[in-house]
Amino acid sequence: MALKIRLARGGSKKRPHYAIVVADSRMPRDGRFIEKVGTYNPLLAKDDENRVKLDVERVQYWISQGGQTTDRVSRFLEAAGVIEKKVRNNPDKAKPGKAATERAEAKAAKVAAASEETAAE
């Protein structure tokens, strides 16, 4: 059985509240789970101590039993100091495309030509 430590959504529309649960990876997101090990309330301020509540001992137990954390839960555990911080690979999506790069180069060349013209005067 592949165990996942993940979020299960609760709350009403536009008022999310999440339970941090240990579940079989084949179960649906909000479906059957083995144990609830914490809560996450994204509506609270980021510095509020009640935003993320974890039962650290149980999380460590389930990780020792082979439980894999999702990305969001692993970030919570890193912030709590339970697991060491992972090096993440940022994708190249933020880099501008070919056309935008060409426009930027043309604009830079135009600005450089204008500054040379004013320097010559």
Q: Is the pLDDT confidence value at 82 over 90?
A: no
Residue 18 lies in a domain: yes
Quick one: how far is CA 90 from the chain centroid?
Answer: 12
Torsion region of 26: left, alpha or beta (phi above 0 gives left; psi -120 to 50 gives alpha): alpha
The enclosing domain of 22 has a CATH number of: 3.30.1320.10
Could you report the per-residue pLDDT of 1-57, keeping only the tens digit for each? 799 999 999 999 999 999 999 999 999 888 899 999 999 999 999 999 999 999 999
Q: Is residue 7 part of a domain?
A: yes
For residue 94, tell me if it sits in a domain: no
Q: How many domains does the chain have?
A: 1
pTM: 0.71
Identify whether 111 is part of a domain: no
Higher per-residue pLDDT: 62 or 119: 62
Judge whether 88 lies within some domain.
Answer: no
In this structure, what token pair is assigned to residue 95? 């880099």
For 18, 28, 66, 69, the CA distances from 23, given in Å and listed in that order, are: 14, 9, 12, 11
On whether residue 76 sits in a domain, the answer given is: yes
Q: Is the dihedral of CA 23, 29, 30, 36 positive or negative?
A: positive
Distance CA(78)–CA(100), nearest Å, equals 37
Domain membership of residue 105 (yes or no) is no
